[in-house]
């Protein structure tokens, strides 16, 4: 089950605010309600929730799909 609530902590002033994350988009910019600092994702993170939130974004929470790489065995065929 996806968690859609995350507490974002401003790295400048330490203000914390609970926010609801969108399930279909990454949030690339977030303005701190206390000091007005514009938060952007840290290098390597997809959004501000992954960088500053208490819970990673829904995209990161989704289990990775499992799939077979390359062709699988072919049954019923001989050399």
Domain boundaries defined on the chain: 5-61
| pLDDT of 67 | 38
* Closest among 12, 31, 32, 23 to 55, alpha carbons compared: 23
Tens digits of residue pLDDT in 27-52: 999 999 999 999 999 999 999 999 99
Tens digits of residue pLDDT in 47-74: 999 999 999 999 888 765 443 444 444 4
What predicted TM-score, i.e. pTM, was given to this entire model? 0.74
Specify the higher pLDDT residue, 76 or 22: 22
């Amino acid at each position: 089950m996806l968690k859609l609530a995350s507490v974002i902590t401003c790295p400048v002033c330490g203000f914390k605010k609970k926010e609801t994350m969108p399930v279909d988009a990454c949030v690339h910019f977030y303005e701190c309600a206390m000091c007005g600092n514009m938060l952007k994702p840290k290098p390597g993170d997809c959004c501000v929730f992954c960088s500053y939130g208490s819970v990673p974004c829904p995209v990161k929470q989704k289990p990775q799909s499992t799939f077979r790489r390359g062709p699988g065995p072919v049954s019923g065929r001989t050399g």
